[in-house]
Amino acid sequence: MNQKSTQSRSDASFSMDDFAKALEQHDYQFATGQIVRGKVFSYESGGALIDIGGKSPAFLPIEEASVRQISDISAVLSDQEEERDFLIIREQDENGQVTLSLRQLEIKKIWDRLADVQDSKQSLQVRVTGMNKGGVTVDVQGLRGFIPRSHLVERENLEALKGQTLTATFLEMDRDRNKLVLSNRLAAKSASFSQLEVGQLIEGKVVSLKPFGAFVEFDSTTGLLHINQISKNYIASLPALLQVGQVIKAMIVELDEGRGRISLSTKILENHPGEMTENMAQVMDEAEARQERARKNLGVAE
């Protein structure tokens, strides 16, 4: 009887030792980069202790609790009973405690969402947080992005843009380099395309002259009035006919959203070849009255 009792105590002792070793081995499986489930154990100065099933509670620093800057970690972890995913960012210390992050898990999810936005060629809303001589920095769902000055609709007074929300589309997305470059101008142009149609009469301002034609800005977008589309007659000197800053009316004759191209024409408004060079003012004054005939010539149904 005594022998059996001794054997029973020996088996129990072995089982407890075995359990302790198993628990210890389980703890050592916690590694950097691993996602674990856990819930709040207690709030601490500078963070929170999280129960992830190890020998010691894990630590979540306040700076790793959110992609946004917070001062109260309980605002993020308000439900102490809620179990959620955490990312291990530092392995166990001498006390068996690992360090966790919610912020880096959020960042991964944000990158995944932004990749979907880019793939679907959608635009998104971003908030201007700062500026430099090259452009403006923006908050992109918690990540830092940049819009070059050349890709802003408003390029002159960057200071006035701070705090404003802009519509933007992606120019470059590099997750490995944590780089997001966006365009407000292309997003505005894309939005404008949805409101434009062939046969539409526009009024805009000449913003630049090139050997091949004039660029005309209207409704936050820009169209090209090719030199061959100004008049049915040959144009010998474009600067002799048009000046930068001049307001003109023209008809949209082609839209190519894929290439971001809007083609304009004034020759389609002429009553006879050369009228644009002879009496441009009359063509402009009567543009609305001539629009219906011009639309029919383009084959655009009313």
pLDDT, tens digit (0-9, with 9 covering 90-100), for 96-111: 899 999 999 999 999 9
- Tell the residue number behind the tokens 């500078």, with chain if given: 46
List Cβ neighbours of 136 (8 Å cut-off, separation of 6 or more).
128, 129, 130, 146, 147, 149, 152, 158, 161, 162
Long-range contacts of 241-247 (CB under 8 A, 24+ apart): 241/276, 241/277, 241/280, 242/206, 242/209, 242/214, 243/206, 243/209, 244/206, 244/207, 244/208, 244/209, 245/205, 245/206, 246/205, 246/206, 247/203, 247/204, 247/205, 247/206
Residue 143 has pLDDT above 70, yes or no: yes
Q: Which helix (H) or strand (E) holds 188?
A: helix 184-193
Structure tokens given for 31: 């590694």
Q: Distance of CA 144 to CAs 53, 73, 102, 111, 114, Å?
A: 35, 22, 18, 11, 12
Residue 115 has pLDDT above 80, yes or no: yes
- Tell the residue number behind the tokens 């800053």, with chain if given: 245
| Residue 240 to residue 181: CA distance in whole angstroms | 40
| Residue 51 to residue 59: CA distance in whole angstroms | 9
CATH topology of domain 195-298: OB fold (Dihydrolipoamide Acetyltransferase, E2P) (2.40.50)
pLDDT, tens digit (0-9, with 9 covering 90-100), for 232-259: 999 999 999 999 999 999 999 998 876 7
pLDDT, tens digit (0-9, with 9 covering 90-100), for 205-234: 999 999 999 999 988 788 999 999 999 999
Share of the chain above pLDDT 90, in %: 64
| Residue 297 to residue 270: CA distance in whole angstroms | 12
Residue 48 has pLDDT above 70, yes or no: yes
Residue 282 has pLDDT above 90, yes or no: yes
Structure tokens given for 22: 């198993």
pLDDT, tens digit (0-9, with 9 covering 90-100), for 148-189: 999 998 888 899 999 999 999 999 999 999 999 999 988 887
Nearest Cα neighbor of 173 from 251, 119, 101 is: 119
| Residue 33 to residue 25: CA distance in whole angstroms | 18
| Residue 294 to residue 111: CA distance in whole angstroms | 48
Matching fold, domains 122-189 and 195-298: yes
Return the pLDDT at 104: 94
Coil, helix or strand at residue 134 = coil
CATH number of 122-189: 2.40.50.140
Domain assignments of the chain as residue spans, ordered by start: 2-105, 122-189, 195-298
Residue 13 has pLDDT above 80, yes or no: no
pLDDT, tens digit (0-9, with 9 covering 90-100), for 54-85: 888 999 999 999 998 888 998 888 877 889 99
Coil, helix or strand at residue 99 = strand
Return the pLDDT at 9: 47
CATH topology of domain 2-105: OB fold (Dihydrolipoamide Acetyltransferase, E2P) (2.40.50)
Q: Residue length, the chain? A: 302
Taking the CA atoms of 202, 205, 209 and 215 in sequence, report the sign of the dihedral they define: negative
Q: Distance of CA 137 to CAs 63, 116, 133, 134, 177, Å?
A: 22, 22, 11, 10, 16
Q: Please give the torsion angle defined by the CA atoms of residues 240, 246, 247 and 253, in that order, rounded to the nearest 10 degrees.
A: 50
Q: Which helix (H) or strand (E) holds 124?
A: strand 124-132
Instruction: Give the global pTM.
Output: 0.60
Q: Which residues pair with 132 in a beta bridge?
A: 135
